[in-house]
Amino acid sequence: MATRRYWAVDIIIGERDGETLADARLTTHATSGLRAAGRAHLRPGEVDVPEVGDEIAVGRALHHLADRLLDVAAADIEYLTDESVDLRSR
């Protein structure tokens, strides 16, 4: 691989009012940062295992971040080709 680029994803996890919240932020050389959030909460009667809540909230945040990144790529392709694309359906 002749050229390498570095993209960073920062994930901030916190809790508020019984919910685990995750904020994922992607920073690249070309963007000022895409952001997406994920949440997890306990249902009545569930055992509180914080690591599981973190995993769910972060997984959801990363999933939303991936969708946003595909939307940005689709918009770039549409701008360059003047054709409509849907990158999420693949």
| Domain that residue 68 falls in | 8-81
Residue 67 lies in a domain: yes
Contact 61, 24 (CB under 8 A): yes
Q: Sheet with 19-27: list strands edge to edge.
A: 8-16, 19-27, 34-41
Residue 34 lies in a domain: yes
Q: What is the pLDDT of residues 3-41, one digit of tens each?
A: 888 899 999 999 988 899 999 999 988 777 899 999 999
> Which residues fall within 8 angstroms of residue 37, CB to CB, at 6 or more apart?
21, 22, 23, 24, 60, 61, 64
Residue 17 structure tokens: 């009012």
Distance CA 52, CA 65 (A): 20
Q: 64: domain CATH number?
A: 3.30.160.240
pLDDT band of 1, cuts 50, 70, 90: low
Query: Does 89 have pLDDT greater than 80?
Result: no
Residue 36 lies in a domain: yes
Query: Does 90 have pLDDT greater than 70?
Result: no
Residue 71 lies in a domain: yes
Q: Structurally, how many domains does the chain consist of?
A: 1
What is the pLDDT of the chain when averaged over all its residues?
A: 90
Residue 86 lies in a domain: no
Residue 90 lies in a domain: no
**Model pTM score:** 0.86
